[in-house]
């Protein structure tokens, strides 16, 4: 298994480190617009080998990603303070489109994992320009938001977070939808717990929506939860788990990439599962899809 990481920023490298610790790849390649950055990060990971599962840790240009099984794209240009969002979108879009085209030409059998924001728009774009089937173009989507939701619920109800069956769906962004009905703990309805309180769930959902901003304000960026979430997707692919994760994939029904619970394995992501929603959740999800499509449409301007 060769996994290439295009973009060696904080999340990309924390993800590569997690991938190495879990022994998911025999070859890990780091690439970055700054060759020095990619080289330094590769050295920092290579020096872990004495205490890690073994992998060839290398760095290089996009051309060195050839024959990757998985290509992870976290590259992106940060927004300048004075520029409108549409400009950012179009600038990152050009970058991602160019990377995707080059990477897929070099690794036509690869699975793409998209981490660059705005997540769903970039995943949609990557699907379009790659020519790959939708199931092999996977956005991290709301897996991170879902991780936060489950972790907070687990903390509140004092159970294993891995047993919490709860989802955030829709856009990985401001219109995300934490589903509050039908949450179960390993199949047992949360509502049967003595500590259950509807207002608590709503409050935790709001904390999840605020989590990214809160962590950025407190420590300057989100790093480890995104890395652990993205690595869960990588693990499901590498080990062919067929695990259910709310990744973002192009959805032919909604004509855009959007996150819903989806089976993830060595084949990629699919099928998408039908999770029940209340009428208000359906409305919120529809609104979220519309929001992603609005940005997708801007790309075409």
User: Does residue 200 touch a second copy according to CB under 8 A?
Assistant: no
Q: Which of 62, 104, 114, 166 binds a second copy (CB under 8 A)?
A: 166
User: Does residue 203 touch a second copy according to CB under 8 A?
Assistant: no
C-alpha 261/C-alpha 275 separation (Å) is: 7
C-alpha 173/C-alpha 166 separation (Å) is: 18
| Residue 276: exposure state from Cβ atoms within 10 A (0-12, 13-18, ≥19) | exposed
Stretch that binds a second copy, among 82-90, 124-132, 230-238, 278-286 (CB under 8 A): 230-238
C-alpha 76/C-alpha 85 separation (Å) is: 14
C-alpha 113/C-alpha 240 separation (Å) is: 15
User: Does residue 40 touch a second copy according to CB under 8 A?
Assistant: yes
Least CB distance to a second copy at residue 208 (A): 9
Residues 231-290 that bind a second copy (CB under 8 A): 231-232, 236, 239-244, 261, 263, 266, 273-276
Residue 6: phi, psi to the nearest 5?
A: -95, 110
Residue whose structure tokens are 């919490």: 164
Cβ-contact 12, 5 below 8 angstroms:
yes
User: Does residue 183 touch a second copy according to CB under 8 A?
Assistant: yes
Residues 9-28 that bind a second copy (CB under 8 A): 13-14, 17-18, 21-23, 26
Tokens of 141: 């989507």
Instruction: Indicate the angle between helix axes 279-300 and 119-130, nearest 10 degrees.
Output: 60
User: Does residue 36 touch a second copy according to CB under 8 A?
Assistant: yes
Binding mask 75-114 for a second copy (x = CB under 8 A): ----------------------------------------
For the question of residue 172 being annotated catalytic, the response is yes
Name the active-site residue from 59, 124, 172, 267.
172
User: Does residue 156 touch a second copy according to CB under 8 A?
Assistant: no
């Amino acid at each position: 298994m060769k996994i290439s990481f295009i973009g060696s920023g904080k999340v990309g490298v924390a993800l590569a480190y997690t991938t190495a610790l879990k022994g998911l790849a025999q070859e890990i390649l780091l690439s970055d617009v700054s060759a020095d950055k990619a080289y330094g990060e590769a050295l920092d990971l290579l020096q872990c080998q004495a205490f890690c599962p073994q992998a060839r840790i290398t760095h290089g240009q996009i051309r060195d990603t050839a024959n990757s099984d998985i290509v992870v794209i976290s590259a992106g240009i940060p927004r300048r303070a004075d520029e409108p969002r549409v400009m950012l979108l179009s600038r990152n879009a050009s970058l991602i489109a160019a990377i995707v085209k080059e990477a897929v030409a070099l690794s036509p059998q690869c699975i793409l994992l998209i981490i660059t924001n705005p997540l769903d728009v970039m995943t949609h774009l990557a699907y379009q320009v790659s020519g790959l089937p939708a199931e092999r173009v996977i956005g991290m989507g709301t897996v991170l938001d879902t991780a936060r939701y489950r972790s907070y619920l687990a903390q509140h109800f004092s159970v294993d977070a891995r047993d919490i069956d709860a989802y955030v769906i829709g856009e990985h962004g401001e219109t995300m939808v934490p589903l509050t009905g039908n949450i179960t703990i390993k199949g047992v309805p949360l509502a049967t717990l003595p500590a259950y309180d509807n207002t608590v769930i709503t409050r935790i959902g709001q904390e999840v929506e605020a989590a990214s901003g809160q962590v950025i304000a407190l420590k300057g960026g989100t790093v480890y939860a995104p890395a652990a979430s993205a690595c869960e997707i990588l693990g499901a692919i590498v080990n062919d788990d067929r695990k259910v994760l709310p990744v973002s994939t192009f959805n032919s029904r909604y004509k855009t990439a959007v996150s819903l619970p989806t089976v993830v394995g060595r084949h990629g992501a699919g099928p998408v599962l039908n999770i029940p929603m209340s009428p208000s959740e359906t409305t919120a999800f529809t609104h979220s899809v519309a929001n992603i499509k609005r940005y997708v449409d801007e790309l075409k301007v």
